[in-house]
Amino acid sequence: MAYVAHYSDVPQQDLHNGDTIRFTKKRVLIGEKEGAPNFIMRYFTIEKNGFTPLHKHPWEHESFVLKGEGIVQTEGGEKKIKPGDFIYIPPNELHQFKNVEEEPLEFLCIIPMQKEEK
């Protein structure tokens, strides 16, 4: 059955490990639990000075920036990101999201099913 909810109703998972991931939280909005067959919609919040891991993996990201500003580091260099920007990261490309501003950086990041990771 179809459903509607607000992202803030979904509990956040704190991914911070003080090392490769800092000040980063994740909400899984739509995924396997909700019966989605093909892809997972996740909502990330990166606080000031936070970052996701600089890593690569065999699956793609399709992201959309909702709030705040930050930097995405890829094999092509660093690019600034702001609300309304979308980001495509193909499979097996090194990437990292960073927040270098005061305000939280918030974005959607969609991945194919069974590829859930930090």
Where b means 16+ CB within 10 Å and e means fewer, 35-52 reads eeeeebbbbbbbbeebbb
Q: How many Cα atoms are found within 13 Å in the side-chain-facing hemisphere of 103?
A: 10
- Among residues 11, 84, 114, 117, which is the contact residue for a second copy, using CB under 8 A? 84
Query: What minimum distance in Å lies between the beta carbon of 95 and a second copy?
Result: 6
Interface stretch with a second copy, choices 11-19, 28-36, 47-55, 97-105 (CB under 8 A): 28-36
Q: Decide: is 30 part of the binding site for a second copy (CB under 8 A).
A: yes
Does residue 90 touch a second copy according to CB under 8 A?
yes
Length of the chain equals 118
Cβ–Cβ < 8 Å for 17, 68: no
Binding of residue 18 to a second copy (CB under 8 A)? no
Helix (H, G, I), strand (E, B) or coil at 21: coil
Residues that bind a second copy (CB under 8 A): 1-8, 29-30, 34-39, 41, 59-60, 62, 64, 66, 72, 74-76, 79, 81-82, 84-91, 93, 95, 108, 110, 112
